[in-house]
């Protein structure tokens, strides 16, 4: 699912599709898995407890859950990006 966002073109009045995804900083992450508990729709854990993050787009319905997981990460190892 794609959301729409304002384009950053010089013209400034075009539109382009933007996809919201969640990404992890693997250096910062310590693998305790809070994120997977809060956002199981896109995050599962590997056998050591580190997150496996789906590359699937985050739908508007899931965005509040994604934001909650990002906010709850104790090591600030998650962020949302639009690409």
Instruction: Give the Å distances, CA to CA, from 26 to 10, 14, 23, 31, 52.
Output: 35, 35, 9, 9, 11
Structure-token pair, residue 48:
């050591």
Count other Cβ atoms within 10 Å, centred on residue 56.
Answer: 13
- 42 touches ligand SF4 (CB under 6 A): no
Cα separation of 42 and 62, whole Å?
Answer: 9
Nearer to ligand SF4, 31 or 64 (CB): 31
Beta carbon of residue 59, minimum distance to ligand SF4 (angstroms, whole number): 20
Residues 55-74 that bind ligand SF4 (CB under 6 A): 73
Stretch touching ligand SF4 by CB under 6 A, among 1-9, 13-21, 23-31, 56-64? 23-31
Q: Binding residues for ligand SF4, per CB under 6 A? A: 24, 29-35, 51, 73, 75, 77-78
């Amino acid at each position: 699912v794609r959301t729409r966002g304002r384009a950053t073109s010089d013209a400034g009045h075009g539109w382009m599709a933007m996809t919201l995804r969640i990404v992890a900083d693997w250096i910062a992450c310590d693998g305790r898995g809070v994120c997977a508990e809060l956002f199981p729709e896109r995050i599962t854990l590997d056998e050591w407890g580190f997150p496996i993050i789906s590359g699937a787009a985050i739908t508007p319905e899931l965005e509040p859950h994604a934001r909650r997981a990002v906010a709850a990460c104790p090591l600030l190892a998650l962020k949302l990006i639009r690409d």
